[in-house]
Each structure stands twice: as C-alpha cells, then as structure tokens.
Amino acid sequence: MCAASRPTNKDPYSEVEALWRSVRDFESLDKAPLQAQPWRAELLQEPETDSRCRLLKSSGSCEHARIYEIDAPGESHARAYLWPGALGEREQRNLIFRTLRDWAKPPNRSNLWPPPEPQPGEKQAKAKRRNDEVEKNEDDDNDQDGAQDGGRTSRRPEDFDSATATPSSSSSSVAPSEASPKARKAAKSLVEALDAFLVQDPIVATDNTHGHDAEKIGGAGDAALVERLRWVVLGQQYDWSTRTYLSEDAAPSLPQELRLLASEACKRLQQQLGDENLIDMSSTVFDAAICNFYHAARRPSDRLGGHRDDVEADAVSPLVTVSLGLPCVFLLGGATREARPIPLLLRSGTLLILAGQARHLYHGVPTVLVPPQLQLKGRSPKRLKSALPPRLAAIYRGSAIPGEVGGLEVPSLLDDSAKHIRCGEGTDARASLEVLDAADAAVKFRDGTGVDDSNDENAAESSSAEAIDWLLARARMSFSI
C-alpha cells in the first residue's frame, strides 16, 4: 500500500509518480487509507464534473464530440485535449484484432522481432553477468527469456535515454530482406503463435495444461507469447537505441485505420477550437505510430516512466494517443519535473491529444489498474468469478461496455469511416499469414496485394472474440500516432 506521507528527496513529478506506482486497482482508492490521501483527490476521473476541464463548444459534424481542454501544470501555458468514449466497442475490438492478426508481425519491429544477434564477446559477458547476479536463475541463458523478463529488448522505446543508450543487436538497422536465418525463424514462430492465439480461448487452453509447461502447449504458450509483446512500431520504423529512422521500405506504411483515426480526431478538434487554435492540424501527415502493451501478468513492473518526447525533429505536430483495454493513470506533467503532474484516468476508448507546446511536457504511466479478481498469482490467467458492478465496469472497460459512457451517449468517432475501411476503401494490404520471408511480406504491403474481403474480415474477427475479450480484460494497449 502507499505510504501516507510523500516521498522525500525527489522532484515533484517523481513524488507523484512514486505514489501512484503502488496503486494496483481502482477499488483501493475508495477505501482507507488511500481514500483520505490528498493526492488521491487529484485524480481527474470525471471530466464532465471536474473544474480543471473545459468542455469545448461543438457544432455541425462535431455536435456529439465531447472534447475537454486541460491546462498543463506549471508555467508552460500548454494544453491537452481529452476525448472520453471517442471509440466504441466495435472500433476498439477491430483495432485489437488488426494488431494481433497483421500489425504485430514482421517486418514491423517489436521487442520480439528481430531477435538479438550474438555479438563478439557477448557470450562471455553474459556469463559474467550471471555469475555476478547470484539471485538470478543460472539456467536462464536463453535470449528469448531475456527478452521477456527484463533483457534489453524488453525495454520500452520511451525508456531509452539519449545520453546513455547504446546500440543493441535487437534494433540494428537491418532491412527485412537482409534478415538473418535466426530472424527469419523468429518471424515464422511469432506469426504462427499470434495466429493460433486468435482462434482459441486462451483460458481454456491454459486450463488444459494440467501443470505442464505452458510454453509447449498451443493456446497457453500462445497466450504467454502475447504477454511478452510489449511494443510494436508501425509505419516509419525507428531504431530506438541509435535514435535514427530506418529506410522507408523497411516495413509497411502506417495502417490506414490509424491514419484515418488520428486525422479525423485532429480535424474535429480543430473545428471545435476555431480561431483559438494556433496550430494547423489539418495538414498533419501521420506516418508512424507505436503500440504499447501493458499486461496484468507483468503488473506492477509493466509501466512507462516519466519522460519527454524529444526524438522527433517535428515535436509540434499533434500526437494522438488511443487507450484500449484496462484503465491507467496517466501523468500529465509540465515542461520540467518541478511541476506537479495531473493524474488522468484514461479508460478504454479514450483519446488524448497533445500538440504544440504540449508535446514537450513530461508524461508517463505509473500504473495500470487491474481488478482484484484478475490480479494474477504466478502466471495463470483466470476468469472473473462474477460480473463487475456497473460503476467499476465503466472504470475498467470504459466505452467497451455497450450503452452510456460517463452518463452521456457518445457516437463512435469512426462509426461511418470504419465501414469504408472494412469494405476495402483505402485499406492497406496485409502480408501473408505465413511470413517465411520478411522481405516478401514488405513487398506485399507496399504493392497493395492481399486486400481483405469484408466478409472474410468479419468472420475472422468473430472467431477471435474470445482472444480479444481475454486481452481487453488483461492488458492495456495504447497507440501513440
């Protein structure tokens, strides 16, 4: 539990971050001792009744869009824009389905692909590290295990510090066509596991292991692999260790669904801001995104430390963040760590838009909130023993719950646009499900071959309902576009 007093010898951002890191679920916030803590009252969870939020005027095509403006802390004069319930259940499920079926696969880079290649002297250095760390299991000498449990490739891209980051073999600037046999084998294994995960109930598969090694049994092993997936770069690929972009032909272009989502969100925001908007969002070209996964099975270690976005040369254009699945506490800081951050409760289906000076603010995710019934012991998935009360269901599932969101009926952002996407209008092609050659996959994306048939698309998504439900209840996914 959290200490009653604030940590000492830390800057204000780090103080607030440390307090929220020890919060595991929403229920604990409504009980002693946390309920009476001053910092708990700082949580911005109901924008429609919070004085720190200003509802933008809506008109025309935006009359149903309830977007709130929030002043950033400190003296930055920056503003963030919060759009609760922007995405309905259908859009959320479609994004998760497309991510697992298409976007998380090579040649898109992730913490699981390409795998780290051995470097001269690395084997000896690794052996020395094992001897120095007596608390670690000496049998854990497999590169993939290192990737899933704290090895270099398990770090989130945002965790890299420009002053200390060193190039790693897992993020070297190698084109898919030049992938090593090890990388080609890893691509095949990753594709097969993701495909298998989508067509079976992960919990049933895990229950059927009867104590055997889950990694060696279909569904359970596939679910375990999904829990190891922490980030995927989409569109323009980026080497986070050397902080350089790769060539444009290294991977497919940004999926049309994400490009349309970000563009439409900025268009509606700009319409509501009118003359008050000093940034032209209409001309923004969205060409890259990162998808982050925060898994309940890795809670509380799976989080995003406070940082500033200083990678891009253009740190003014809008950044659109989409939240799916479990809720999180997002810290909206100031231009320095001396500004006390505002904790925002981001629920499933919420959009957060940062533009202009807001792109330079400190921010992070100190905790992902997991229902007590689903806080995993060991690594065994469980079912909810009973349905969540309506209030908690609204917290944990957000607009994934059909019906009202925050007491208001909010039409889905992409309600009409999603129909056009599914019918193949402007749909980006997807690679073959048998990615034996990453270069061939990239060519298929670029050449526009393999456009999905809408009937096949709907049938495939329907057959993946259990897997999507499993992920929605056990992970937070976020797209930063």
Q: Strand 319-325 relative to strand 351-354: parallel, antiparallel, unpaired?
A: antiparallel
**Contact indicator for 32, 356 with CB cutoff of 8 Å:** no
Percent of the chain exceeding pLDDT 90 equals 43
454 has pLDDT over 90: no
Q: How many CB atoms sit inside 10 A of residue 318's CB?
A: 22
What is the pLDDT, as a whole number, of residue 365?
A: 96
CA angle 379-383-384, nearest 5°? 120
258 has pLDDT over 80: yes
22 has pLDDT over 70: yes
Q: How confident is the model at residue 413 (pLDDT cuts 50, 70, 90)?
A: low
Q: Which DSSP string do the residues of 405-419 spell out, in sequence order?
A: BTTB----TTTTHHH
User: Rounded distance, CA 148 to CA 193, Å?
Assistant: 15
363 is in an annotated binding site: yes
- Four-point Cα dihedral 160, 365, 291, 119, nearest 10: 30
Residue predicted with more confidence, 276 or 467: 467
Compute the chain's Rg from CA coordinates: 22
What is the pLDDT, as a whole number, of residue 172?
A: 43
Of 72-76, 86-90, 103-107, 250-254, the least confident: 250-254
Q: What is the largest CA-CA distance in the chain?
A: 66
Average of pLDDT values for 208-219? 38
CA distances from 409 to 125, 266, 413 (A): 58, 21, 12
User: Rounded distance, CA 454 to CA 452, Å?
Assistant: 6
Residue predicted with more confidence, 243 or 479: 479
> Which stretch, 65-74, 122-131, 309-318, 438-447, has highest mean pLDDT?
65-74
Residue predicted with more confidence, 123 or 333: 333
Residue predicted with more confidence, 456 or 52: 52
What is the pLDDT, as a whole number, of residue 336?
A: 95
Of 8-12, 25-29, 203-207, 305-309, the least confident: 203-207
Report which residue type is found at 127.
A
**Contact indicator for 481, 236 with CB cutoff of 8 Å:** no
Q: Strand 53-55 relative to strand 319-325: parallel, antiparallel, unpaired?
A: unpaired
Per-residue exposure over 64-74, b if at least 16 CB sit within 10 Å of its own CB, e if not? ebbbbbbebbb
Per DSSP, the three-state class of 192 is helix
Of 36-45, 264-273, 412-421, the least confident: 412-421
Average of pLDDT values for 466-481? 93
Sign of CA dihedral 292, 295, 300, 302: negative
User: Rounded distance, CA 129 to CA 479, Å?
Assistant: 35
What is the pLDDT, as a whole number, of residue 145?
A: 31
User: Rounded distance, CA 431 to CA 108, Å?
Assistant: 11
Average of pLDDT values for 412-436? 36
What is the pLDDT, as a whole number, of residue 130?
A: 61
Beta bridge partners of 303: none
CA 335 to the chain's CA centroid: 23
**Contact indicator for 150, 133 with CB cutoff of 8 Å:** no
Per-residue exposure over 397-418, b if at least 16 CB sit within 10 Å of its own CB, e if not? bbbbbeeebbeeebebbbeebb
Average per-residue pLDDT for the chain: 74
CA distances from 433 to 152, 261, 383 (A): 28, 25, 30
pTM for the structure as a whole: 0.77
Q: How confident is the model at residue 459 (pLDDT cuts 50, 70, 90)?
A: low
Q: How confident is the model at residue 332 (pLDDT cuts 50, 70, 90)?
A: very high
What is the pLDDT, as a whole number, of residue 178?
A: 65
- What is the tens place of the pLDDT at every residue in 51-85? 999 999 876 555 667 999 999 999 888 999 999 99
288 has pLDDT over 70: yes
307 is in an annotated binding site: yes
257 has pLDDT over 90: yes
Percent of the chain exceeding pLDDT 70 equals 62
What is the pLDDT, as a whole number, of residue 376?
A: 61
Residue predicted with more confidence, 225 or 246: 225
H or E element that contains 480: strand 475-480
Q: Identify the CATH assignment for 12-115+224-380+395-410+462-480 out of 2.60.120.590, 3.10.450.30, 2.60.40.10, 3.40.190.10.
A: 2.60.120.590
What is the pLDDT, as a whole number, of residue 299?
A: 72
Q: How many CB atoms sit inside 10 A of residue 57's CB?
A: 12
Beta strands in 249-318 (DSSP E): 288-295, 304-307
**Contact indicator for 358, 369 with CB cutoff of 8 Å:** no
- What is the tens place of the pLDDT at every residue in 339-371? 999 999 999 999 999 998 999 999 999 999 999
471 has pLDDT over 50: yes
CA distances from 387 to 249, 392, 397, 448, 478 (A): 47, 10, 12, 44, 25
What is the pLDDT, as a whole number, of residue 12?
A: 97
What is the pLDDT, as a whole number, of residue 63?
A: 61
77 is in an annotated binding site: no
What is the pLDDT, as a whole number, of residue 136?
A: 42
- What is the tens place of the pLDDT at every residue in 93-119? 999 999 999 999 999 999 999 988 776
Residue predicted with more confidence, 439 or 26: 26
Average of pLDDT values for 302-310? 87
Half-sphere exposure of 150 (CA within 13 A, CB side): 5
- What is the tens place of the pLDDT at every residue in 159-175? 433 222 333 333 444 54
CA 361 to the chain's CA centroid: 19
Q: Where are the domains of the chain?
A: 12-115+224-380+395-410+462-480
Residue predicted with more confidence, 231 or 156: 231
Q: How confident is the model at residue 266 (pLDDT cuts 50, 70, 90)?
A: very high
What is the pLDDT, as a whole number, of residue 122?
A: 59
What is the pLDDT, as a whole number, of residue 235?
A: 95
User: Rounded distance, CA 47 to CA 81, Å?
Assistant: 11
Beta bridge partners of 388: none
Average of pLDDT values for 286-314? 84
284 has pLDDT over 90: no
290 has pLDDT over 90: yes
- Four-point Cα dihedral 147, 148, 150, 154, nearest 10: 60
Residue count (the chain): 481
